[in-house]
Amino acid sequence: MNEIIFIIIAVSALGIFALPKRSQYYLMLGTQIFLAALTGYLMYLSFNRIEPLQIYLFDLLGNDVSLVIDSLSAFFIFVINITVLTGALYAKGYLKPYLRDKTRLEMAWHYFNFLILHISLLMVAMLREGISFLVFWELMSVSVFFLIIFESEKQENKEAGIKFLIQMHVAFYFIIAAFIICSIATGQNIGFESLEQYFKDYPAFPVFLLFFIGFGIKAGFIPLHTWLIHAHPAAPSHISGIMSGVIIKMGIYGIVRVLTYIHSDLMPIGVFILIISIISGIFGVTIAIVQHDYKKLLAYHSIENIGIIGIGIGIGVMGLAINNPVLASLGFAGGLLHVLNHALFKSLLFYAAGSIYQQTHTRNIENLGGLMKKMPSTAVFFLLGAAAISGLPPFNGFISEFLIYTSLFKSLMVSDSILSVTLLAGIVALAVIGGLAVFCFTKVFSIIFLGTARSDKTRHSHEVRSSMLFPKFIIAILIIMIGIMPFMMLRPMSFVAGVFVDDTSSLRDMTGTMSGISLSLSLLIVFIGILFFIKLKLSKVRHTDIGSTWGCAYTGSDPALHQYSATSYAEYIIMKAKILVGVKKHFRYLTKENIFPGESYFKTGSSDVFEDNLVSRPAGGLLSFMEKIAVFQTGNIQHYLLYAIVFVIVISIISIFGII
Amino acid sequence: MGVGLVLILITSLIFPGIVSVVKAKIAGRKGPRVMQHFYDIIRLMKKGNIYSRTTGFLFQLAPIIYFSTLLTAVFFIPVGNYKALLSFEGDFVMFAYLMASGRFIMIIAAMDTGSGFEGMGANREAFYSLLAEPVFFIIMGSIALHTGHNSFYDIFSNLYVESALTYFVSALSVYLIFWVSMIENSRLPVDDPQTHLELTMVHEVMVLDHSGFELGLIQLAGGLKFAIFGSLIFNLVLPIQNSYFLQLTFFPIVQVIYAVLVAFVESFRARNKMMRNAQWIITLSALSIVVFLTILIIHEKVGMLP
């Protein structure tokens, strides 16, 4: 049975190459639906089982490789399938303009990698055996690399892809190193099973740190995030959505999977995760505010949301440490529910961003404006995603943040003083992140969709085709459903939290609270409905006029000229977070020597302080050092022979004196 | 149960009137009637609308959503012993986020007009409220820690226990909530609703283009905000399980004192320099940390230092 399934998938994956351009997509989509149905069935079987579901696959160097699916894996399978399928549906419309320019092989290669990505994501979530896990982990990174450089004719995309590939491999070494340490120390095979024994016998923190760096680079915790902000804008939008929705979440998956094996050192680990997450959350959103590239801005928001997820997980771990099942279950449930929520609203935002890019061919929000009238459906979806990512009710982002808030407030009451201060920092961080997210998304939504057009780029834009709106519609429904009926998420989340703690009754006790939220939201909706009805009735009897916007009684000028711009909107943050966002201005003063001033220029932009100091500067230093060393590379064969002779002489001298 | 709700709604209609009457008296003017504000709103609601060409449907929908969020938020506020209609664990988080939702949509509406002035106001509103948010959360977190409860009603009904420091905590909290209410309502010292220069306004400039029914709703919402914060202050001042009669007497008194205080601040305090506002609000956050530390001292958690 297993073999048949593998053969079907392999044949259809390779079959993509044999098909003509127009039908490749359907084979990929069909295979993905098949995969999703299959894993969906496994997910259904494995949810809420006490023992994880095991399916033997094959024998690898004497190890049994089998799929092991517990509630945690099942949850991630759900997130993966939802995001990848909506991404695939969206891709049809998004890739349409590229069909003309790209060759049949290029398109097939893209679809093929898309399929491989889906398979490897699913396998990573299901495998426990080390070597096969690492193979699929690597396969995931490589397929993403090819997906990122889809538009490889642009130099910046290639650079972003290579940056991604390098950093993923650095991450890979950390993960391998951690696995090998565990394997050697316990004498077991490489794999998650060896962690159980290792963490029983040895201090957990150092090896956890290795895992955290490895998986954290994938997840994009600050300061490990520098690949993310280049890869997201470079990738085509359906890939950006999936990248932000699930690929970085696999880092979170790795971290929480490792955490299930740790039973000592939990307090320092929890505090460590909490602090890193607070930093990621606040810095991520602060830097996001000054971005003018809307895809880069969304990328920074991914970092922020990874921070929120991490705050939940950190609290969960601290709950485990002090043996408090209430905190542990609330923290993990909140953090992991945010994984799903973020996957939903972030992919929605990226798909909407892709639609904007397709219509305007610019990623600079200062060139946009007034798109609301031309692309109303996209605008509504973007607004919905914006409200959800800002954590506002009645959308799903609020629910997970609410769970995390509840866990923070509850843990305040059972902690000592130092911990209390940390937890208060968590509460303040969440509040500030929420406020900054509102600030950021009111900015980006307003500048793109409201007001009037700021340049000609929007002139030919119109609403995207319905095949690109349909996946957004599905996601939007899920966002609203989770937001308005949060109690239905409690049962599944209690199974997921059950992987970490035995007693998840506190989550079920939240039913009353969640019903309270539901009730107040229904009240809100009823109020809106009534008032809207009154307004409609009134507008029938009252006189309505259309005029121009109030401009201090001055109506002569072009309204596009005195609109608020993205730079001026972000001005406060640029001023207050100067060191962090590093906005630099380069310009030449106008000179006075002639009657007509000469040529001049003005350039401004922000840079990431972490990237500058942790990646660019050391890499630059290394490069210039290498250039100095390169004097030896003369290209002259005699010199190289000389080096060989010197080497032999040095070796013999050393061995004569018995140094080696 | 519903008594608290009715009290808050009535307060919201009268409160702005009291403030303007007191302000007029201080300035030596005769001043409007107390209910004048309410009559103005009714007149606004009877008027037709004028919309800007630039705006879309969001602009017309926003005041409705804004008012509805505040109306829903009222259901969360207990008044003394009168339990709020909606009360659950963590309701104050929901309360704060509901207010944020309303603010979000009003900022969007302001930006929809494509006006430089309104963009400025929207931007300031977003920035100041984001700075003020932590104050509310730190205070609520501290007194939640203090009482061991997680909802408005339970927190306020268990606030006064043993220590005399509690009085210090609630006095400081009242002081902070007072200033937060001034920020949330865009009054002095952050913003001056009386100013006649669009360039220096915050909230007033955001609603320049609204008219008729919607403008009436926005005005009503302003009163509601004051009433909500007034009730929070009342709960901080008088949460003991008093007799219902005492509470019904004290509620209006506290509200009137609050209104008079607002009027005094508006009459005698100068407005902050625009660039100094951020700093001033952050100072409030710093003060709220004092509340938190005091609570730690009360609970002798500081003694548990390793």
DSSP string of B228-288, one letter each residue: HHHHHHHHHHS-S---HHHHHHHHHHHHHHHHHHHHHHHHHSPPPPGGGHHHHHHHHHHHH
Q: Measured at the alpha carbon of residue A405, what is the angle toward residues B12 and A425, in degrees to the nearest 5?
A: 100
Q: Do the beta carbons of residue A209 and residue A145 sit within 8 Å?
A: no
- Let me know if B175 is exposed, middle or buried by CB neighbors in 10 A (0-12, 13-18, 19+): middle
Q: Mind listing the pLDDT tens digit for each residue in A438-463?
A: 999 999 999 999 888 888 888 888 88
Judged by CB atoms closer than 8 Å, whether chains meet at A549 and B113 is answered as yes
A364 in helix, strand or coil?
A: strand
Task: Residue A223: name the closest of A265, A167, A175 by CA.
Answer: A167
- Residue A42 in contact with residue A69, Cβ under 8 Å? yes
Number of domain units in chain B? 1
In chain B, what are the helix, strand and coil shares in percent, each to the nearest 5? Answer: 70, 0, 25
Strand partners, A586: A603
Kind of pairing, strands A63-69 and A583-587? unpaired
**DSSP calls for A303-335:** HHHHHHHHHHHHHHHHHHHTT-HHHHHHHHHHH
pLDDT higher than 80, residue B212: yes
Between the ranges A535-539, A577-581, B60-64, B243-247, where is the mean pLDDT highest?
B60-64
Substitution target in A520, A545, A567 with the highest count of B β-carbons within 10 Å is A520
The model's pLDDT over B272-302, given as tens digits with 9 standing for 90+, comes to 888 888 889 989 999 998 888 888 888 765 5
Residue window 441-480, chain A: list those with CB within 8 Å of chain B: 441-442, 445-447, 450-452
Note the pLDDT of residue B304. Answer: 45
Cis before B134 (ω within 30): no
What distance, in Å, lies between the first and last C-alpha atoms of chain A? Answer: 58
Which of the pair, B246 or A525, is modelled with greater confidence?
Answer: A525
B187–chain A nearest CA distance, Å: 20
Beta-strand (E) ranges in A172-252? Answer: none
Distance CA A501, CA A635 (A): 64
Query: Does the interface predicted TM-score (ipTM) exceed 0.90?
Result: yes
Residue-wise pLDDT tens digits, B29-52: 888 888 888 899 999 888 888 888
> B292 to chain A: which residues are within 8 Å by CB?
424
- Contact yes or no for B161/B170 (Cβ under 8 A): no
**Closest by CA position to B207, among listed B34, B44, B96, B11:** B44
CB contact under 8 A, A446 and B71: no
- The distance of A240 to chain B (nearest Cα, Å) reads 26
User: Model confidence over B3-30: pLDDT tens digits?
Assistant: 888 888 898 999 999 998 999 999 898 8
- A312 contacts A595 by C-beta, under 8 angstroms: no
**Positions in chain A whose pLDDT score sits under 70:** 1, 48, 553-560, 591-594, 660
d(CA A270, CA A109): 42
Mean pLDDT over each residue of chain A, to the nearest integer: 88
As a dihedral over the C-alpha atoms of residue B86, residue B87, residue B91, residue B97, rounded to 10 degrees, the angle is 10
Contacts of B198 in chain A (CB under 8 A): 552
Q: Domain range holding B244?
A: 2-304
Closest of A351, A439, A442, A346 to residue A400, by C-alpha = A346
Is residue A124 within 8 Å of A137, Cβ to Cβ?
A: yes
Checking DSSP bridges between strand A602-606 and strand A583-587, what pairing results, if any?
antiparallel
Q: Which residues of A touch B213 (CB under 8 A)?
A: 534-535, 538, 542
* A541 reaches B (C-beta below 8 A): no
Beta strands A53-60; A583-587: pairing state: unpaired
Instruction: Inform me whether the pLDDT recorded for B306 exceeds 60.
Output: no
Structure tokens at B258: 């609050």
pLDDT at B303 over 60: no
Residues 602-621 of A with CB under 8 A from B: none
A80, burial (CB in 10 Å: exposed 0-12, middle 13-18, buried 19+): buried
CA A284 to chain CA mean position, Å: 12
- Residue identified by tokens 């001049």 is A600
Q: Are B254 and B230 in contact (CB under 8 A)?
A: yes
Asked, as a colleague might, if the bond just before A233 is cis with ω within 30 of 0, I would say no
What number is the average pLDDT over the span B206-232?
90
Give me the pLDDT at residue B154, please: 84
Which carries the bigger pLDDT value, residue B248 or residue A402?
A: A402
Q: Give A81-103 pLDDT, tens digit per residue.
A: 999 999 999 999 899 888 888 88
pLDDT of residue A354: 92
Q: Can you spell out the DSSP letters for A56-119?
A: EEEEETTEEEEEEE-HHHHHHHHHHHHHHHHHHHHHHHHHTTHHHHS-HHHHHHHHHHHHHHHH
Could you tell me what percentage of chain A is helix, strand and coil, using 3-state DSSP and rounding each to the nearest 5? Answer: 75, 5, 20
The answer to whether residues A192 and A133 touch, using CB atoms and an 8 Å cutoff, is yes
